[in-house]
Amino acid sequence: MTSEGRFGAVITCMDGRIQTRTIDQVMTRFGVRYVDNITATGAVKNLDGAVTPTGEGLLESLNVSKEAHGTNQVALVAHAGCAGNPVPDNTQKEQLRRAKAVVAERFPEMEVMALFFDPRIGFEKIH
């Protein structure tokens, strides 16, 4: 895979305003050539401690990315003004922290990064 470029993955909202920037950000942060783009409306709310059926679908896609593309890095992304997850930014950041723990538990060998995007600020890494 190295000669053709490594893969990373992102689990993010489907919002069209953030797709290009998100993929570009994940390529840069992980140093990967390709990013498998796994989306659902307000994705992070589906991995908020408990995993919803939609969340299971997201994790299934991540597993395909891992098995088919050798992905071992994933970014979880939420964003300000999310129509599918209309809660305050700080609540979304808490959801990101819990989602990060969920994904890390399911994929212990994978590097998991959480990012919050605000168009006025850019991408903020959530620890």
How far is residue 12's CA from residue 61's CA, in Å, rounded to a whole number? 12
Least Å distance between CB 95 and Zn ion? Answer: 12
Least Å distance between CB 82 and Zn ion? Answer: 3
Between residues 7 and 117, which has the closer beta carbon with respect to Zn ion? Answer: 117
Rule CB under 5 A: say whether 82 interacts with Zn ion: yes
Residues of this chain, 83-102, that bind Zn ion according to CB under 5 A: 84
How far is residue 52's CA from residue 57's CA, in Å, rounded to a whole number? 9
Least Å distance between CB 19 and Zn ion? Answer: 11
CB neighbour class for 41 (10 Å; exposed up to 12, middle 13-18, buried from 19): middle
Using the contact rule CB under 5 A, the part of the chain among 12-20, 53-61, 99-107, 118-126 near Zn ion is: 12-20
Rule CB under 5 A: say whether 15 interacts with Zn ion: yes
The correct pick among 11, 13, 58, 76 for binding Zn ion (CB under 5 A) is 13
Rule CB under 5 A: say whether 9 interacts with Zn ion: no
Dihedral over alpha carbons 117, 51, 26, 42 (to 10 degrees) = -40
Least Å distance between CB 14 and Zn ion? Answer: 7
The full DSSP string for 34-92 is: EEEEEE-TTGGGGGSSS--HHHHHHHHHHHHHHHHH---EEEEEEETT-TTS-S-HHHH
Residues forming the site for Zn ion (CB under 5 A): 13, 15, 82, 84
